[in-house]
Amino acid sequence: MKLLARTTVFFLIYASIVAVGGTFVYYGFISKIYYAYVDRTLSRRKLRVEKALRLHLRTPADLAFWHQLDHNVEFKALSAPGPPVSFSQRMMYNELTGQIVPYRQLAAPVEFQGRPYRLELRTTMLDSQELLARIVLAGALLFGALLVGLLVLQHFLARRMWAPFYHTLGELQRYKLDQHQPVRLASTRIPEFKELNSALSRVLNRNQRIYHRQREFTENAAHELQTPLAILRTKLDLLVQAPDLTEEQAGHIEALLEVTQRLTHLSRSLLLLAHLDQQLFFPTETVDLAAAVRTQLGQMREQLSVNNLTLTIAVLETLPLAANRSLLEILVSNLLSNAIRHNVPGGELIVTLTAEEFTVQNTGRAQALPADQLFVRFRPGPERPPGSVGLGLAIARQICETYGFLLNYHFQAPARHIMHVRLQ
């Protein structure tokens, strides 16, 4: 749930609790006030009745007559003085409506001509209850309107005030470590966001600096390696010319040659990766991918026959692409050589190229490779053969990224490994 939605929900829960509780409290409060008012009116009427008892009424028949005129005034003769003044609620038949309706009643002991009576004064609560209900309804409506208004207001305010946050979030989502332009976060007057943005900018720019420095380091390191490697290679070239070389010496030299070869490959691969990372300019030309695939396959004929592999090709006649020739060749060669290297003797190699995709399938170990680690630089793992520097697939993926291709690995039981390049 989004932050805003979450706060709104909590706000809503709180508001409805307050609204429900508030309505009850409000109702109780209003009705209390109303009863107090009714009771005061009844008390005032009682004073008037007491005055009338003293001044105008003569006989008990007058009392009965009064009750007949006004049902809400009733006298009851008592043998002993009655209980003190009390208010109560009672249900009674109402002639006007023909229904039993609630009444508020005041019962008070009075004295008439020296004898005790109980006076009951009543007033109907029918209209007043309706009134009460309306008052409460009006209150509830008001409350509701306030609530809705507040919600809407909160929503819009939050959206407006959180705008810098969402902008920053968007920037972060688009952020790539290797992008060239620095991150630009929107300026805001809200101190918290200001601090957030400045902290983020600091971190991001620092990261970028470190990343660039590291890339430069890789490139420089690879460069610096070339000259010592050149010396090593040329010295070995001279060493093998020695006229009285023994077989044992030759063996040592061969090992050195091999290591030098590996180092050279390693440093060149690193350099290539550094250049790809930097998105250095690689001149683009029209390259026939189909021809490149066929050429590379031709160069690997020996490896294929040594491992006794069956090659199946379904490659388009021609597929011109705008790309750098050497990069495409490296991509194709890395995928193909990988498929040969990790094959089993007597296995299969299937190469297909359509306008949409380039696929290399090979038989191999009866176990899927960890797809998430496959394209990692210097990938460790048991499937890495001795002598491999573990950069081939990383380079392949980087080349694919450069040209917007998508490189994927699939495993098909029982033992088929598939490399998939989606072109465009």
Partner 1 sequence: MKLLLVEDEPELLASLVSYLQAQHYICEVAITYAQAQEKMLLYNYECIVLDLTLPGGDGLELLRELQRHQKAAGVIITSARAAVDDRITGLELGADDYLPKPFYLPELSARISALVRRRHYQGTNLLQAGKLSVDVPARRATVEGHPVTLTRTEFDLLLLLLANQGRVITKGAIAEHLSGDAAEQFDTFESVYAHVKNLKRKLTEAGASNYIRMVYGLGYRFDTSSET
Residue ranges in contact with partner 1 by CB under 8 A: 223-224, 226-227, 229-238, 240-241, 245, 247, 250-251, 253-254, 257-258, 260-262, 264-265, 268, 271-272, 275, 280-283, 299-303, 306, 326, 329-330, 333-334, 337, 341, 387-388, 392
| C-beta neighbour count of 274 within 10 angstroms | 20
Read off φ and ψ for residue 289, nearest 5 degrees. -65, -40
- Taking the complex as a whole, the smallest distance from the CB of residue 291 to partner 1 amounts, in Å, to 14
Contact 314, 358 (CB under 8 A): no
Residue 98 or 283 with smaller CB distance to partner 1 = 283
First-to-final CA distance of the chain: 35
Residue 134 or 301 with smaller CB distance to partner 1 = 301
65 SS3 class:
helix
Among 401, 385, 391, CA closest to 264: 391
- Taking the complex as a whole, the smallest distance from the CB of residue 322 to partner 1 amounts, in Å, to 16
- Taking the complex as a whole, the smallest distance from the CB of residue 213 to partner 1 amounts, in Å, to 19
- Taking the complex as a whole, the smallest distance from the CB of residue 306 to partner 1 amounts, in Å, to 5
**Token reading at 207:** 């990261």
- Taking the complex as a whole, the smallest distance from the CB of residue 206 to partner 1 amounts, in Å, to 28
Phi/psi class of residue 388: alpha, beta or left (left: φ > 0; alpha: ψ in -120 to 50)?
beta
What is the C-alpha to C-alpha distance for residues 167 and 183, in angstroms, rounded to an integer? Answer: 12
Contact 339, 361 (CB under 8 A): yes
Residue 9 or 306 with smaller CB distance to partner 1 = 306
Residue type, 297: L
Residue 129 or 388 with smaller CB distance to partner 1 = 388
Among 131, 401, 402, 405, CA closest to 282: 402
- Taking the complex as a whole, the smallest distance from the CB of residue 205 to partner 1 amounts, in Å, to 27
- In the chain, how many H helices and how many E strands? 10, 11
What is the C-alpha to C-alpha distance for residues 270 and 384, in angstroms, rounded to an integer? Answer: 18
Residue 122 or 275 with smaller CB distance to partner 1 = 275
- Taking the complex as a whole, the smallest distance from the CB of residue 245 to partner 1 amounts, in Å, to 7
Helix (H), strand (E) at residue 126? helix 126-161
The DSSP secondary-structure symbol of 178 reads: T
- Taking the complex as a whole, the smallest distance from the CB of residue 221 to partner 1 amounts, in Å, to 12
61 SS3 class:
helix
- Taking the complex as a whole, the smallest distance from the CB of residue 219 to partner 1 amounts, in Å, to 9
- Taking the complex as a whole, the smallest distance from the CB of residue 346 to partner 1 amounts, in Å, to 16
Residue 23 or 324 with smaller CB distance to partner 1 = 324
Residue 145 or 230 with smaller CB distance to partner 1 = 230
Helices (H), 240-353: 247-277, 289-299, 301-306, 325-341
Residue 7 or 278 with smaller CB distance to partner 1 = 278
424 SS3 class:
coil
Residue 111 or 254 with smaller CB distance to partner 1 = 254
201 SS3 class:
helix
Helix 163-174, helix 126-161: angle, nearest 10: 40
Helix 191-239, helix 163-174: angle, nearest 10: 10
CA-CA-CA-CA torsion sign (195, 198, 200, 206): negative
Residue 334 or 362 with smaller CB distance to partner 1 = 334
- Taking the complex as a whole, the smallest distance from the CB of residue 398 to partner 1 amounts, in Å, to 15
| C-beta neighbour count of 405 within 10 angstroms | 20
Residue 302 or 356 with smaller CB distance to partner 1 = 302
